Amino acid sequence: MESSRIVPLYQLSFFPSKPDSCRGFASPTRQWKQRTTRTTRLHCQKMYVPGFGEASPEAKAATNLHNFFTYIAVKIVMAQLESYNPEAYVELLEFLDRNSLNDGNKFCANLMRESSRHKALALRILEVRSAYCKNDFEWENLKRLAFKMVNESNTELMRNYVLETSHEEGDK
């Protein structure tokens, strides 16, 4: 079934490419006479991330979030339809069964071309994903959770390793 396919979070190829982790720092600084000594000292402090070509890790993450927002929009519209328009709900469910949601734009493009009723649903999904991205999604919360996750995971991984190895040493 096509809808069971999953989205790659990232490409696993390690192809060489230009550095892209210095965006915002690489733009030419204005050479004000009195600031020359300061601006010429500006250089990128970021780590070099290979393999993103002309794009950036942020662009890659944004593309994945974009598909995620389409998925969320479909869920929101489905939940709304279920209660007051069961026919459209079933139609969308059937369409979901035949079409993968992994590429959000492709999904919407196909939905628009299915029938005039499906087109109305597609336009609604486009509207909802835009509103969700701009108003409902909690960007600060995402950042906070990601920080928390990296701290807690690192601590837990190291703790578990130490616990395991100290047991092994105790057994000897």
- Restricting to residues 107-136, name those near a second copy by CB under 8 A: 108-109, 112-113, 119, 122-123, 126, 128-136
Q: What whole-number distance in Å separates Cα of residue 64 and Cα of residue 8?
A: 9
Query: Closest distance between a second copy and the C-beta of residue 32, in Å?
Result: 25
Say if CB 73 and CB 128 are below 8 A apart.
Answer: yes
Q: Binding residue for a second copy (CB under 8 A) from 26, 39, 53, 75?
A: 75
Query: Closest distance between a second copy and the C-beta of residue 38, in Å?
Result: 21
Of the pair 91, 112, the CB lying nearest a second copy is at 112
Q: Binding residue for a second copy (CB under 8 A) from 39, 40, 53, 58?
A: 58
Q: What whole-number distance in Å separates Cα of residue 144 and Cα of residue 149?
A: 9
**The one segment of 26-34, 35-43, 139-147 that binds a second copy by CB under 8 A:** 139-147
Query: Closest distance between a second copy and the C-beta of residue 8, in Å?
Result: 4
- Tokens standing for residue 41: 């000292």
Q: Measured between alpha carbons, how far is residue 95 from residues 73, 114, 126 in Å?
A: 15, 9, 16
Look at residues 114, 131, 132, 112 and name the one whose alpha carbon lies nearest to residue 122: 112
Q: Measured between alpha carbons, how far is residue 104 from residues 24, 58, 89 in Å?
A: 29, 18, 18
Q: Binding residue for a second copy (CB under 8 A) from 42, 90, 158, 163?
A: 158
Taking CB under 8 A as the rule, does residue 15 contact a second copy? Answer: no
Q: Within 28-47, which residues bind a second copy (CB under 8 A)?
A: 46-47
In the chain, beta strands by DSSP E: none
Task: Look at residue 10 and give its three-state secondary structure.
Answer: coil
Taking CB under 8 A as the rule, does residue 23 contact a second copy? Answer: yes
Residues recorded for the chain: 172
Taking CB under 8 A as the rule, does residue 26 contact a second copy? Answer: no
Q: Binding residue for a second copy (CB under 8 A) from 26, 42, 79, 90?
A: 79
